[in-house]
Structure 1
Amino acid sequence: MSGRSLKIALAVSVALNLFALAGGVAFAVSWARVDERVADLRRTARHGPFREVIAQLQPEVRRDVRARMRAAALAARPDFEAARAARAQAVQAASQPRMDAARVQALLDQSRTAEMRGRARLEGEAIAMLEKLDVEDRKVLSGLLMRRGPRSGPRTPDTGRNAAPRPPEPDGPDGPG
């Protein structure tokens, strides 16, 4: 091999090694992020917002709140199970070769109604419980009335394909202009 072809082979080898190294670093970083996200999800499941909120209460109030909310959740469970079952049936019906749009819509309506019934039970019990607490405890627990799904954090604006357009940023020190 000539000196020129050795230099080209060396350059190609270095480029490939750098590419492989960058791929390995990217993999390691993404792996660490996935591990961190999984740990966050596990931590949230055990120490979610509800647990953090009631931890601020006095022990006797905490026990009462936990017992009442558990009872309300158990009472609402059939409604949420019915909602999930109806939604699963709607998905099944929608994936059939000959879809019956009216049936799918009826199942989705049924699911939504059952979910709202369950939410109404939970919210009604939360309101009844809040009514019996003093002002400080009510301030702590009033966040329970926020509408959130299981294990979710605070709501963030929709950034998906169907998201509403964002308003223009005002001109200012950090804005355009």
Structure 2
Amino acid sequence: MEKVILIGAGGHARVLVDAALHDENIEIVGFLDDGDIDEILGIKKLGNTSEIEKFRNYKFHIAIGNNNLREQLGAEIGSEKLVTIVHPAAYISRDVQIGKGCYIGANAVINSKTIVEDMVIVNTKSVVEHDCILKKGAHLSYGVLLGSSVKVDEKVYIEMGSVVQRGIKVERDIR
């Protein structure tokens, strides 16, 4: 069982904790956050984000939606220490490649031959059709629909409900 510390305590972190509690291979031992939240769904705060170094014996998941901050923290921690969390109600085709530190939300669908690089968020009810590439740190908000063969560049954010036609390269945020 992976013992994991979350970084962050906002709404995205609460969603991640709920998903992780369904995974018998992951134990969330606590979270680090700079705010004043002490507990998320029974998971206790262990300290501030400046204390990451104290917990080097653990794996981490960065539960922060901000792409730039997620990438900065990921670089500090190192990808080998990042754990991907997949909600049990997600569907992922057998030949999809998923990197480290990703989150795949409830009722998300990722179809055949898609590549999902490190620290990508595919949020609730998003659909990623076949042959897509989601570059490092990309973030699909809830209900995003990517047609086949879409490429989403690094750290690009796509707003909820957006539809991206097949074959498009998304090089900047869609808000």
Question: Which TM-score tier does this pair reach, normalised by the shorter chain?
Answer: under 0.3
Q: Which has the larger radius of gyration?
A: 1
Give the TM-score, by structure 1 length.
0.18
Give the TM-score, by structure 2 length.
0.19
Greater fraction helix:
1
Which structure has more relative contact order (CA 8 Å, sep 6+)? It is 1
